[in-house]
Homo-oligomer: A and B are copies of this chain.
């Protein structure tokens, strides 16, 4: 079990949603943390409390700049690669956003690691690699892998690159396939959208799709804890895990949770209809968590509890806090 105490950890996308939560946890466990982020989705607010800490460094840079990436990465022990375009539906409008910010960025991360002789990568992948699987809950060895979003295509491409770099250049990888993650520092996603919409118009809430889309929501603290648990305990060349709770929450139940938490009355919830929220949306996701369970890990919060908790946290941030700036 590898300790994080004194370890030099490089976190891409470390000013973003999951990355900033991860950077905080890594710091609290005694790691030296370098966050690299282009601040396209990430926010300095999310990491400002660490900016002056001696064990913390922030680099504003884009992963597509290989030369600078290579320089900033020098001397680190491992890389947590969290950076990506997290707006899945955007890929339908801008068809190269995931190719560039996902696939090419990941190639650069791996190439910078190879050049610097850094051997460990922890990667934020996604259940989107499964496309619309015929087996649910879906296990990690499910095939074939035919993603229906360009985001999912990019995550699959990244997994393949990571696997090939491991084999060719002696790297070791921990790939975590996330379901939906929610909580503090969220910058996108269904709860965030609902809160923003209701701030603009507290009388009506438009919900994309028929509301029956249902997915596992994992609280970001569980996501970070799960990654560090798996990283410490799995030791294959390529370790791949679903990171999710059992079960899931429907979009309509999330809409109700948001309305309830806001204390609003008489909100008219309008469904745009259709089983998908958008092209590329996988309406029903369940991830088999038993491989992580075999390492002794289990989400602390159920999906519904994670939703409720996250709504409260986002409410404080989005409604009351920086979101109003």
Contact = CB atoms under 8 A, between A and B. Distances in A.
Given A143-B145, A159-B146, A238-B146, A167 B103 contact: no
Interface stretch (A42-50, A91-99, A190-198): A91-99
A76 B73 CA distance: 46
Interface string A282-316: 00000000000000000000000000000000000
A62 interface: no
A238 B147 CA distance: 11
B163 A153 contact: yes
Interface residues of A, number: 40
A209 interface: no
Interface in A158-182: 159-161, 163-165, 167-168
Contacts of A96: 107, 111
B140 A144 contact: yes
The 7 closest A-B CB pairs, nearest first, are A143-B143, A157-B157, A153-B160, A148-B167, A146-B163, A153-B164, A156-B160
12 contacts: A95-B114, A96-B107, A99-B103, A99-B104, A103-B157, A129-B160, A131-B163, A140-B143, A145-B160, A149-B164, A149-B168, A156-B157
Given A103-B157, A142-B144, 15 more contacts: A91-B164, A92-B168, A140-B144, A141-B144, A143-B144, A146-B240, A147-B160, A147-B164, A148-B168, A149-B168, A150-B165, A150-B168, A153-B161, A153-B164, A156-B159
